[in-house]
Structure 1
């Protein structure tokens, strides 16, 4: 468990231990700033030293919008902050873990009556339904989440080639290049989830709860365990033939809206 908030990571690690079913389960808490490549490298080094391999990486670090403003009033400093955390932070983790996974042996499992290969590892990025739609007054968040889908689909491109026009392709490219090594790369794209980040967004926009009920066909936001269930599926052998996709988990929010 790695987080900028070390105490939060430590508490999550503690809570995971009583519910673990594997007798050899071990939870490690690590402090990390995903926007700092040295910090990311230290996180990966700690994982490698404490565990025999890295089977999956879930890139869930991210920040949300505190102030909803029209594009002409958007703060460039905040725009850069979103880029550093949501985009480059995701890229830093993908790059560091890919190096480790490529050196690992291909994992095999027993499936019904035969043994089958499930690859060297899985990388799962947390996008958003805003990876596919445009929402007014949150240009910094929407741009960064579109980029996460791009990172999921592309890999191996030089950073100088990364522009808005190709960010959507980046994750596909990462998945494409890593597929030959048995490394799957996908994204899940939730809508609103009952988390502190959404609480902060509501504090900045009191009209948000009413708007949520209007645009979500299921008339409610997701619970964290509903997203965790999809994370579990996308990182386990049951999805071993899935790579390069972004899975919308949004209660039907994007059904009524044009996606890009």
Structure 2
């Protein structure tokens, strides 16, 4: 295809960009013409990608990481809130500390990061935020407490924030992946005998998705190609949600 690349001129910041879906989003955005920065607790060494070590659940750490990236790639025009914890707890034995820790990363962090980047976006009267939710936000299973609640909250945050910032030309959407071949999912398959076969048998497309397939949707929503899309939650689950809806 000729013409302008999908994300030419954009500055994309991805949280949790060291591996899995986050790393795929960073690579895809870079190929699409964006300047890219990532924030992660781990050190990221990806050619062409600026990196800052930071804790997205800590407001001061978020501020420092974004300031560092701004000196390298510029102020974000696109924020991708990808960082998250895929943890589950027993609802009775779970402690308040466990609860606060999970929600700090899976829900609060998206607001903390958005709060930092929105003033510049408001001034520019343009920008895009994409939040990585999950199929579990609307269709979940036993053993996913309270991860499903946190991701449902993230979809709610997406819708609410979209309305708040729409007057400034800023769009906010979320993406809800199903089973994707990330290190975390591969660990689950290894730990539970027969689990991968069980998951595969339920997939309408007969396979599990890849991080690059999620990244393509995220980068589309971040781009001007999706200029009339806001407040939406896009499923990237190979039809799994349709099967159980």
TM tier relative to shorter chain: 0.7 to 0.9
The 3 A distance-change label for structure 1 pair 185 and 62 is: same
Look up the match of 1:194.
181
118, 124, 129: which one aligns with 2:135: 129
Q: TM-score, normalization: structure 2?
A: 0.78
Structure (1 or 2) with the larger CA radius of gyration: 1
Look up the match of 1:48.
70
229, 232, 236: which one aligns with 1:245: 232
Pairs aligned (count): 218
User: Using the alignment, how far apart are the partners of 2:234 and 2:194 within structure 1?
Assistant: 28
Q: Say whether 1:152 aligns with 2:158.
A: yes
Superposed, which structure 2 residues align to 1:17-96 within 5 Å?
A: 20=31, 27-65=49-87, 71-74=91-94, 76-96=96-116
User: Using the alignment, how far apart are the partners of 1:37 and 1:82 within structure 2?
Assistant: 16
Check the 8 A contact 1:184/1:244 in 2, yes or no.
yes
141-150 vs 50-59, greater mean Cα deviation: 50-59
SS at match of 1:186: strand
Check the 8 A contact 1:2/1:29 in 2, yes or no.
no
User: Using the alignment, how far apart are the partners of 1:100 and 1:197 within structure 2?
Assistant: 34
User: Using the alignment, how far apart are the partners of 1:140 and 1:202 within structure 2?
Assistant: 21
Deviation at 1:42, TM superposition (A): 1.1
User: Using the alignment, how far apart are the partners of 2:155 and 2:32 within structure 1?
Assistant: 33
The 3 A distance-change label for structure 1 pair 5 and 190 is: closer
Larger RCO (CA within 8 A; separation ≥ 6): 2
The superposition leaves residues 95-139 of structure 1 with CA deviations (integer Å, 9 ceiling, x where unpaired) of 1111221122x4xxxxxxxxxxxxx11000000111111211111
The superposition leaves residues 170-224 of structure 1 with CA deviations (integer Å, 9 ceiling, x where unpaired) of xxxx000100011100000000111112123334433431221232212221111
Query: Where does structure 1 lack aligned partners over 5 or more consecutive residues?
Result: 107-119, 155-173
The superposition leaves residues 30-51 of structure 1 with CA deviations (integer Å, 9 ceiling, x where unpaired) of 1111111111111222233333
The superposition leaves residues 131-178 of structure 1 with CA deviations (integer Å, 9 ceiling, x where unpaired) of 111211111211111111011011xxxxxxxxxxxxxxxxxxx00010
The 3 A distance-change label for structure 1 pair 227 and 24 is: closer
Check the 8 A contact 2:35/2:49 in 1, yes or no.
no
SS at match of 1:247: strand
Look up the match of 1:168.
none
Look up the match of 1:142.
148
The 3 A distance-change label for structure 1 pair 178 and 4 is: closer
Check the 8 A contact 2:59/2:112 in 1, yes or no.
yes
SS at match of 1:185: strand
Check the 8 A contact 1:78/1:140 in 2, yes or no.
no
User: Using the alignment, how far apart are the partners of 1:140 and 1:198 within structure 2?
Assistant: 18
